[in-house]
Amino acid sequence: MSAEPASQGSRSADTRRPRSVYGFGAEPDPRFSMANERTALAWMRTALAFVAGGVGLTSVARIAGLSRLMDVVAAVLCVLGALLAVVAVLGWRRRELAMRLERPLPAPVVLPWLGALVAVVALVLAGYLAVQTR
Amino acid sequence: MSRDPGLQPERTALSWQRTGVATLLVAGGAAAAAVHRGELLVVGAALVVLALAAVTAVPPRQPPGHASGHAPSHPPAPPYARLVRAAVATAALAAVGVLLSMT
């Protein structure tokens, strides 16, 4: 396990960025790199779903005249979406580096938090609906 | 490596397409919501994000593989810059969403 760029035959100089990923280890199977790319994109779409939920919720809340609490939930959803977008990029870096160094892939730490957050938001909305329709 | 039976490049391109379309849809929805509110500043912000999303959705130019004499098995183009652009577009959309819920 060296800190030198992989010397793969005729390829002259690896100038790909970020150097903190491509400057280490050896080239993994391209199929694994592309799978990692698709994983990051799936996280990005999850982030977009949070933002879409926030924008949709605040719009519906305004049109239907719901309480300002729904605007707070909408803002929280948008902030979570922005955080997940960062998670998508950082996760790609961590996994690509782990593959290059032939280390085990990092554990999906964010995944249980994501599930918990979705559950909390769903419960808040369900509670609001229960109070409103009583 | 002659032909990848798993169609990895195609699947990755389609994944980018899904993400780009999703970004454009959310940006369009945010812009429509801002127009409905009559918040000119937020409308402007949403339009900027829409442009950013459009740039992300367009696939990058293929590197001139034949001209530089690469073997067909050379590693795929690094997706990092495009990934960061998609994240910036998503975060900017989130900012528009927060603005919408505050106004």
Q: What is the DSSP string of chain B?
A: ----TT-HHHHHHHHHHHHHHHHHHHHHHHHHHHHHHT-HHHHHHHHHHHHHHHHHHSPPPPP-TTTTT--TTPPPPP-HHHHHHHHHHHHHHHHHHHHHHH-
Is residue A48 a part of any domain in this protein? Answer: yes
In this prediction the ipTM stands at 0.87
Is residue A55 a part of any domain in this protein? Answer: yes
Closest Cβ–Cβ partner in B26, B36, B100 for A52: B26
pTM above 0.90, yes or no: no
Is residue A18 a part of any domain in this protein? Answer: no
Is residue A44 a part of any domain in this protein? Answer: yes
Is residue A70 a part of any domain in this protein? Answer: yes
- B30 in contact with A at a CB cutoff of 8 Å? yes
Separation CA B19–CA B25 (nearest Å): 10
Chain A contact set for B91 (CB, 8 A): 82, 85-86
Is residue A1 a part of any domain in this protein? Answer: no
Is residue A105 a part of any domain in this protein? Answer: yes
| Tally of structural domains, chain A | 1
Residue B71 backbone zone (phi > 0: left; psi -120 to 50: alpha; other: beta): beta
Is residue A53 a part of any domain in this protein? Answer: yes
Closest Cβ–Cβ partner in A17, A38, A85 for B91: A85
Spell out the residues 6+ positions from residue A8 whose beta carbon is closer than 8 angstroms to its own. A27
Over the stretch A46-102, which tens digit does the pLDDT of each residue have? 999 999 999 999 999 999 998 999 999 999 999 999 999 999 999 999 999 999 999
Closest Cβ–Cβ partner in B37, B75, B87 for A30: B75
Tell me if B15 and A41 make a contact (CB, 8 A cut-off): yes
Domain of residue A39 covers 29-132
Say which range, A8-12, A16-20, A109-113, B74-78, has the weakest mean pLDDT.
A8-12
Chain B contact set for A42 (CB, 8 A): 15
Tell me if A52 and B25 make a contact (CB, 8 A cut-off): yes
**Helix H or strand E encompassing A112:** helix A110-132
